[in-house]
Structure 1
C-alpha cells in the first residue's frame, strides 16, 4: 500500500467543494451522451440487419479501447494536466459519435467505437480520480454516492432525449456530440481545484493494483459486463416481451431511476461497514434480481423490477470506488482507478457478447439468464476472497 499522504492538504475547503462539483457536473453530462448513444447504436445496427452477437461485439470495442489506453492515462495526465487531458477527451468523444452518423460501412463502426471508448476511458479515469482524491475520508462513501447519483441522472436522461428526438434522423447524433462539448463548460471553472498527478513509482502499475484490491476491481468487471450489456440489450429484451421500441428504450431509464434512489444510501452504509462484505451482499441481490426479471411480465412491474435491481447492482460501482479511495492516494489512487476502469472495460468486452449470444440462443429470455450467470461468478469469487481474508 502507498505511504499515507493527505490528498486534501494542498486544497482549501472551498477548492475541494468546487473541484468535486466540477468533476461531477462534467461526468454527469457525459453520462447523458453515453446512455443516449448505446441504445441508439444498438437499434441502428439492428435496423441494418446486424445480429445480436454483432451488436454485442461492436459495443465491446469500447472496452478494448479502454484496456489498451487506460494504463497510460495517469502518465499522460501527469504530463499535460488533468484538465487539458479531459478537454481533449471530450473533443474526441464528440467527433467520434458524429462519425457514426456519416460513415456507412458497418466495419468502420468498429474503429469509431474504439475512438469513442478511448474518450470515455480518459473521462472516467480522471473524473473518478479527481472526486476520490478530494473526498473527505470520513464521508468518502457519501461523496461517491452523490457522484454515482449524478451520473445515474445523466445516464437515465439519455433515453428520454432519444425518445423525444427519435432515431430516424441525424438529430440524436448531433445531440450526443453537443452534450460532450457542453460537458467541457464546468472544467473552465475548475481553476486550481484540479488535483495534480505525480509520476508513478516503478512496479506499481495496473497489475499491482489488481492483485492488492481483487474484490474492488472484480466489482468493476461485473458492473461493466452487466451495466453495458443491459444498456444494449434491455431495450431489445423489452421489444421481445411485447413493448414498443421507444417504450423498451425506457427500461434503461428505469434502471437509472433505481440507481439515483439507492447510491447515496449505499454510500452511507459503506462508510459504516466492511465494504467487501457489502459488495458481496450487493452481488447476491443482483443475482436473485436477474433471475426474477422474466417473471415481471411486460407492464409496469417490469419497469419497477428493473429499477430496484439496477439500483442495487450499481452499488458495485459506488462501493468499490469508495473502497479504493480509502486505501490509496495520489498517483496510486489514479492508477488503482485505472485498474478499476480496465476491469470495467474487460466486463464491457465480455458482457455484451455474452448477452448477445444469450439473446440469439433463447430470445428474449437469454438476456436475464446471461446476466444471472455473470452475477453468480462475482458472488462465488467475492465470497471466497472474503472467507480467506
Structure 2
C-alpha cells in the first residue's frame, strides 16, 4: 500500500510539473492560445479513449503489470519529448501519456479499494484522495521553485521525468492481485461498463455531481469571482479555497463512511452541496459567502467521489471493480466537462440569477436521485471474492 501511495504521488507531481511547463514552452514558440488549448486537450482525449478499455488491459496484464505499464508509458513518452523538438511528435506522445494516465487513475484507485481492510476502507481511500489533491499543489510549487531558482526549462523537464521514473521504480513493489487475473464470467470493455452502471447507477450520479462541483467549477470560479466584483488575484484564490475543502475533508468523510455506510454520507454530502449552492443569490450582498461556498463545494463534491470509491470497493473485486471504477471516472470527467461548458454560458447570460439557477438545478437533481431508495442491482456476471498475495 505504501509503495502504491508513493508511486502515485511521485508520478502525479511529475505530471503537474511537466504539463504547465510544456504549455509555457509552446507559448514561447509562438503558438496561439487556441492551438495550445487543443494540444493540452490531447492528454484528456487520451484518457477518454482509454477509460472504457481499462478492464480489458487489466484482464490481459493483471493489475500489477497494468500499473507498471501505466508508469512506464509516460516515462518513455516524456523522455522522448525531452529529446525531440517536433511539436507534432510531442502531441502524439502527450496523447499516449494521457491514455496511460487513465489506466493509472483507474487501476491505482481499484487496487487501493481492494487492498484496504474492509473496516478501514473509508479512511484509507480518504487518505488516498487527500494525497492526490496535494499533488495539485506540490507539482506546480516545485515548478515555481525551480523556475525562481533560475533552473533552465530543459533541466526542469528532466527533473519532472525523473520523478515519473521514481514512480515506475516504486511500482515494482506493489503486490500482485490474483483477483484481477481470474475470470469469473464478468464482461469487460463497454459491456462491462454497462453492467456496472446497471448494478449501481447511483455511482454514476455521484460522479457526475462530484465532478461538476469539484473539478469542473475550478475553471469557472475565477470568472464568477470577476463577475461579482472580486479582483483577479482574489478571484483566482477561489479555486485554492475549493481545493482546500477537498483536501482537508476527505479523511473525515472516509471515517464517516466506515461508521455510517455510504448511503448516509452520500446524502449528507449532497445536502451540504445543495445548501451551499442555494446561498449563491446572496453573494452580491455578502461577498464573503463566495469563499464559504467554494470551500463547501470542494468538500462536498470531493466527498461524493470518495464515498463512491468506498462503495464500489465494498461490492466488487478484480475486473468487475475496474469496470465500476471506470464508470466513476467517466462520469466524474463528464461532470467536470459540463461545468465550464454550461457555467460559462450561464455566467454570460446572468451572473446573479442564471448561474445560480444552473447550479441549483444540477445540485437538486443529484440530491433527489441520491435520496431515492434505489438498492444496487447485482451485476450481470458478479465477481467472486479473491485474495491477494
What TM-score bracket applies, with the shorter chain setting the length? 0.7 to 0.9
Question: Which residue of structure 2 aligns with residue 242 of structure 1?
Answer: 231
Please state how far the C-alpha of 1:49 moved relative to its aligned partner. 6.4
Q: CA deviation at 1:220?
A: 1.7
Q: Is the contact between residue 273 and residue 296 of structure 2 (CA under 8 Å) also seen in structure 1?
A: no
Q: Does 1:319 align with 2:283?
A: no
User: Which residue in 2 is equivalent to 1:132?
Assistant: 113
- Relative distance call for 1:259 and 1:191 in structure 2 (3 A) is same
- Alpha-carbon spacing, 1:298–1:334, altered in 2? closer, same or farther (3 Å): same
Listed one character per residue, the Cα deviations across residues 179-216 of structure 1 (whole Å, up to 9, x for unaligned) are: 43332232132255787433462546110110111112
Match of 2:298 in 1: 310
Who is 1:350 aligned against? 338
**Counterpart of 2:327?**
339
**For each residue in 1:281-300, what CA deviation from the matched residue of structure 2 results, as whole angstroms up to 9, or x when unmatched?**
21221233245468299998
How many residues get paired? 364
Give the 3 Å change call, closer, same or farther, for CA 31–259 of structure 1 in structure 2. Answer: farther
Matched, 1:284 2:284: no
Question: Which protein has greater RCO, CA pairs closer than 8 Å, 6+ apart?
Answer: 1
Change (3 A) 1:308 1:162: farther
How far the C-alpha of 1:96 sits from its partner, in A, is 6.3
Structure 2: tracts of 5 or more residues without a match = 378-389
Question: Which secondary structure does the structure 1 equivalent of 2:260 belong to?
Answer: coil
Q: Distance in 1 between matches of 2:219 and 2:263?
A: 29
- Find the residue that maps to 1:189 and give its secondary structure: coil
> Cα gap change, 1:191/1:337 in structure 2, threshold over 3 Å: closer, same or farther?
closer
Superposed, 1:98-177 pairs within 5 Å as 114-161=95-142, 163-164=144-145, 170=153, 176-177=160-161
Cα gap change, 1:248 to 1:118, in 2 (>3 Å): farther
In the aligned structure 2, how far is the partner of 1:196 from the partner of 1:177?
29
Output the CA distance in 2 between the equivalents of 1:38 and 1:238: 26
Q: CA deviation at 1:64?
A: 4.9
Distance 1:184 1:226, change over 3 A: farther
1:5-20 to 2 correspondences below 5 Å: 20=1
How far off is 1:91 after superposition?
Answer: 4.1
Offset of residue 26 of structure 1: 2.4
The reply to whether residue 182 of structure 1 matches residue 163 of structure 2 is no
Q: Superposition pairs for residues 51-62 of structure 1, below 5 Å?
A: none
TM-score by length of 1: 0.74
> How many angstroms does 1:265 deviate by?
1.2
Greater mean deviation of Cα atoms: 311-320 or 222-231: 222-231
* Residue 237 of structure 1, CA deviation: 4.7
Equivalent of 1:201 in 185, 192, 207? 185
CA contact (8 A) 1:216 1:276 kept: no
1:8-87 equivalences in 2 (<5 Å): 20-33=1-14, 50=33, 64-87=45-68
Question: How far apart in 2 are the matches of 1:235 and 1:42?
Answer: 20
Cα RMSD (Å) of the superposition?
4.4
CA–CA separation in structure 2 for the residues paired with 1:43 and 1:162: 12
1:380 to 363, 368, 376: 368
Q: In the alignment, is the contact (CA less than 8 A) between 2:214 and 2:297 conserved in 1?
A: no
CA contact (8 A) 2:64 2:177 kept: no
TM-score by length of 2: 0.74
Evaluate the alpha carbon distance shift between residue 367 and residue 157 of structure 1 in structure 2; reply closer, same or farther with a 3 A threshold: farther
Of the two, which has the highest radius of gyration?
2
Distance in 2, Cα, partners of 1:364 & 1:117: 37
Distance 1:198 1:219 in 2: 29
